[in-house]
Amino acid sequence: MKTSTKILAAVTLALLIITGAAAFLLMCSDNEGKTAYIYQNDELIKTVDLSSVTESYEFTVSSEDGGSNTVEVRNGSIGVVSADCPDGLCVGMGFIGAKGMPVVCLPNGLMIVVEGGEGDVDAKT
């Protein structure tokens, strides 16, 4: 085996190990301090401490025009599992558990935002 082939194999192996370790650390990150804020029509209607959830549970958010969203809360994440809106995009957004993209249902005026946690990146970091 040539020296250049050995070096290439070693570098590739090192990159795989580093990438795997980073993925493992991200998946096992601490949920401490993560809070979900549920808004309807720009009004805060509920706050959920995602780090204190021991068993998954669901609740329904109803809009003034009769629409509704069923929200599921899990340890470290939250998402919309069913909605009676015409497009259902909020259900397709999946679960969120970190600062970033919110779950939004425009027809029913629902928005779920997660903030906090030690692993969050902000403008200062």
Q: Where are the domains of the chain?
A: 1-30, 35-115
Which is more confident, 39 or 64?
Answer: 39
Determine phi and psi for 123, rounding to 5 degrees.
-65, -15
Distance CA(45)–CA(9), nearest Å, equals 55
Question: What CATH number belongs to 35-115?
Answer: 2.60.320.10
| Residue 115: closest CA among 54, 31, 22 | 31
- Examine the pLDDT at 120 and tell me if it is beyond 50: no
**What tens digit of pLDDT does each residue of 2-46 get?**
888 888 888 888 788 888 777 666 655 555 678 999 999 999 999
pLDDT confidence of residue 114 = 92
* pLDDT number for residue 111: 95
pTM for the full model? 0.68
d(CA 121, CA 124): 8
